[in-house]
Amino acid sequence: MLKTTLFGITRGCWLLSAVALLAAVELSGQSVSTPVSPAIQANSNRAPAGGLEKGVLTLHLELRQGDWYPEADTGPSMKVYAFCEEGKALQVPAPLIRVPEGTEIHVTLHNLLRVTAILHGLHQHPGDAKAVVEVPPQETRELRFAAGAAGTYQYYASAGGELGDTGRPIREDSQLAGAFVIDPPGKVASDRIFVLGIWRSGSDLAAVRGQAPLPHMIPVINGKSWPYTERLTYTAGEPVRWRWINASDGGHPMHMHGSYFRVDSAGDSETDHSFTAEQQRTAATNRLLTNGTMTMYWTPPPGHWLFHCHFVPHMSPEMTVANALADKFIMQHTHDHMAGMVLGITVTGNRPPLASHGRTRKIRLWVRERPAAHGLPAGFSYQLEENHNLFPKDLTVPGPTLVLERGRPVEITVVNQLHESTTVHWHSVEVESYYDGVAGWGASGNKVTPEIQPGHSFRVRFNPPRAGTFMYHTHLHDEEQLSGGLYGPLIVVELGTKFDSSHEPIAVLSRAGPSPTEGPLLLNGSTNPPTLHWRIGDRYRLRLISIAAFDGGSFSLLGADGPLQWRAIAKDGCDLPPAQAVMQEARQLALAGEVYDFEYRPTAAGTLQLQVSIGILKMKVAQQIEVQ
Ligand SMILES: [Cu+2]
């Protein structure tokens, strides 16, 4: 009773929690590790921890158990281990270590858990991932080291909990991780730091392999899950710099709605690599594997945008604390469309008008239920209609290829024939946020993007400003709708040119569903795609689209002796600069939401293979290519 009352009062307030803790200790006469635990605060990574004086950072860190509130500060909580600075609130992510290059770091670690903690990353950078420090329960360790080279790094601890497939903790010790940033000398441009974390009830590799049900997950950005993640506001065109750190067990394809960003550095938390101007990448989706880091630069366009992980189980409304605690999935269709690793950004300003050419094309996009057929379980499908022609006649996976011209306005009426609501997202196309497919978030003036209810339609208008390879897909009830086949290629060609399917093969990598972790691997909706026929000396542009809901797949172009060489052309629909449009081994990893274009010119007769594979699942689909 006492505990409940105290918790009611003390949520989110460390000082009162400390009083509660002491009171409980006194009342019970037990040790400090009594089950009464303080509230953990979400750390927005704005204020560096410790005291910096005369080139020395002094930092006293403690490890304790606390109550974590990944959703509302007054919402459901779960007990996890966390770091705090001595005398301050526990934090997830852990206190930010941020110092200029040349700083000496003096840190003490006091372990108040009942288990030994193993600390990673608290050393000079670049560093060795194997260099760890053990701190037994109730003991303290003192470390002194030089910070090292400027970059984005992390530190984390494991403390006896279950480890995931990548070796990172997944449960009670999964949130023992924080950012470690070393700034270059001189004036530092303002930026924000985001740490990706996951609490998980089990192995998702086993789930992906079909050996276990999908675990419960709480995927978070800076300790919070959508819609409780921080809301950011910018003015259109202002320079935005973000540092991202993946402190979770698993990779994340991080996707920006409505525009591109530039990746200026990438690292693995021990070493960071700053790109030269020629090496900087432009992307709408950039993957961060476990321990991966990036710094990104973004010039935001006006609108309401999302930046999120494209793995469906990392952004699904089922991934809530209530579900994890209940150990079952409660569908909350009416509550919110997403949870997890989703950031909402509001950008003020006006969108400059685009030059448009020709009459507006009018197209209908039918969204339909699809019976089981051709070896695929029942699901959903798209059909296109233009000038009273319906295409394709059958219901297919993926949906039909939508070919648009750059600069030519289009009006697409999405007609929902499902028994549930849907929306359509035009993935990587620079559309207005109202038409971007995020119900309840996208907006134009006072109009907010609606869910398209069963039997209703929604008119989308845009003018594609860029020629390239894109896709369209559902952005609602993704667990079933995306896994069930609601995606299709979107090709934008230069005005007055035609899409030549015989020389521009599209390869869509997905799984058959009906859930994100079920079904065989598919290439263009098939486990046995038809043979392609190519001509010696012709130029082929391969348009590769990865949209498996929860997998990373690889595309390869193989000859008799293994991978051939192809030339990179574009990433996520954006043409590569000359320095990056180079010949390379014809093998490309692509997580959900990534799109790549490559060019290949066969020089001899023979048989080639375009292969898609998911390595960890030993799944493979090959398409034969006869060259004559
Ligand atoms: Cu993810």
**What pLDDT digit, counting tens, does each position of 488-502 carry?**
999 999 999 999 999
The two tokens of residue 540 are 């082929």
The stretch 526-539 carries a mean pLDDT of 98
Helix boundaries (H) for 332-440 = none
How far is the centre of ligand 1, averaged over its atoms, from the C-alpha of 96 (Å)?
22
CA dist., res. 518 & res. 120, Å (int):
35
Ligand 1 center–CA 215 separation, angstroms:
14
Q: Give every CB contact of residue 4 below 8 A, 6+ residues apart in sequence.
A: none
Q: d(Cα 484, Cα 167) in Å, to the nearest integer?
A: 32
User: According to the 3-state scheme, what is the secondary structure of 38-50?
Assistant: CEEEECCCCCCCC
Position 484 scores a pLDDT of 96
Amino acid, single-letter form, for residue 281: R
Going from the Cα of 304 to the center of ligand 1, the distance in angstroms, rounded, reads: 21
Q: How far is the CA of 205 from the centre of ligand 1 (A)?
A: 13
State both tokens at 51. Answer: 């005291």
Ligand 1 mean position, distance from CA 592 (Å): 9
Report pLDDT for 552: 85
DSSP letter at 312 equals G
Q: 205 pLDDT band (50/70/90 cuts)? A: confident
Token look-up 């060609």 returns 493
- Look up residue 128 and give its amino acid: D
Sign of CA dihedral 563, 566, 568, 572: negative
Would you say residue 258 has pLDDT above 90? yes
- Whole-number Å distance, alpha carbon 250 to ligand 1 midpoint, is 7
CA of 23 to the centre of ligand 1 (A): 41
Distance 223 CA to ligand 1 centre (A): 14
- C-beta separation of 283 from 571 below 8 A: yes
9 or 612, higher pLDDT: 612
% residues pLDDT > 90 (the chain): 85
Ligand 1 centroid distance, CA of 517 (Å): 14
- As a whole number, mean pLDDT of residues 145-174 equals 97
Residue 432 contacts by C-beta under 8 Å, 6 or more apart in sequence? 258, 303, 351, 444, 462
Is the predicted pLDDT of residue 13 greater than 80, yes or no? no
Per DSSP, 451 falls in state P
**How far, in whole angstroms, is CA 186 from its chain's centroid?**
32
β-sheet bridge partners, residue 274: 265
Query: Residue type at 420?
Result: E
Percent of the chain residues past pLDDT 70, beyond the cut: 93
Three-state SS string across 90-102, please?
EEECEEEEEEECC
| Side-chain-side CA neighbours of residue 368 (13 Å) | 21
Distance 220 CA to ligand 1 centre (A): 9
- For the stretch 216-229, pLDDT in tens is 999 999 999 999 99
Q: For residue 126, is the peptide bond before it cis, meaning its omega torsion is within 30 degrees of 0?
A: yes
Distance 285 CA to ligand 1 centre (A): 12
How far away, in angstroms, is 195 Cα from ligand 1 center? 12
Asked if residue 402 has pLDDT above 50, the reply is yes
Cα–ligand 1 centroid distance for 179 (angstroms): 18
Cα of 598 vs centre of ligand 1, distance in Å, is: 26
> Which residues sit opposite 411 in a β-bridge?
362, 461
**Separation CA 378–CA 338 (nearest Å):** 24
331 pLDDT tier (thresholds 50, 70, 90)? low
Chain centre distance of CA 58: 34
**Parallel, antiparallel, or unpaired for β 424-427 and 468-474?**
antiparallel
CA of 165 to the centre of ligand 1 (A): 14
Instruction: Report how far ligand 1's centroid is from the alpha carbon of 340 (Å).
Output: 9
Q: Is the pLDDT of residue 7 over 70?
A: no
pLDDT for the residue numbered 302: 97
* Tokens linked to 250: 């698993």
pLDDT at 34: 45
Q: Write the single-letter amino acid at 118.
A: I
Query: Would the pLDDT of 208 be above 90?
Result: no
Q: Are strands 132-135 and 117-120 parallel, antiparallel or unpaired?
A: antiparallel
The answer to whether 344 and 306 are in contact (CB under 8 A) is yes
Structural element, H or E, at residue 542: strand 540-546
How confident is the model at residue 352, as a pLDDT? 85
pLDDT at 211: 86
Residue 391: Cβ within 10 Å count: 13
pLDDT for 217 equals 95
Q: How confident is the model at residue 204 (pLDDT cuts 50, 70, 90)?
A: confident
Beta carbons within 8 Å of 273's beta carbon, 6+ residues apart: 265, 266, 267
Cα 251 to ligand 1 centre (Å): 6
The DSSP bridge partners found for residue 125 are 148
pLDDT of residue 332: 57
Residues 407-427 pLDDT 10s = 999 999 999 999 999 999 999
615: which DSSP letter?
G
Give me ligand 1 centre to Cα 455, in Å: 33
pLDDT band of residue 585 (cuts 50, 70, 90) is very high
Residue 218 Cα to ligand 1 midpoint, Å, equals: 11
| Both structure tokens of 305 | 């945008």
pLDDT band at 212 (very low <50, low <70, confident <90, very high): confident
In whole numbers, what is the pLDDT of the chain averaged over residues?
Answer: 92
What pLDDT shows up at residue 355? 83
How many residues are given for the chain? 628
Q: Average pLDDT of 455-484?
A: 96
Ligand 1 centroid vs 252 CA: distance in angstroms? 4
Q: Which helix (H) or strand (E) holds 140?
A: strand 140-146
Q: How many CB atoms lie within 10 A of CB 197?
A: 28
- As a whole number of angstroms, the distance between CA 479 and CA 515 comes to 6
Q: What would the two tokens of residue 29 be?
A: 């006469």
DSSP 351: P
CA distance 288 to 243: 12
Query: What does the alpha-carbon distance between residue 255 and residue 284 come to, in Å, rounded to a whole number?
Result: 6
In angstroms, the CA 55 to CA 58 distance is: 10
Q: Which residues contact 412 (CB under 8 A, 6 or more apart)?
A: 363, 364, 365, 424, 459, 460, 461
CA-nearest of 68, 37, 373, 412 to 224 is: 68
User: Ligand 1 centroid vs 313 CA: distance in angstroms?
Assistant: 7
pLDDT digits (tens, 9 = 90+) for 542-554: 999 999 989 889 9
How many A from CA of 424 to the centre of ligand 1? 21
Cα gap 108→181, rounded to integer Å? 18
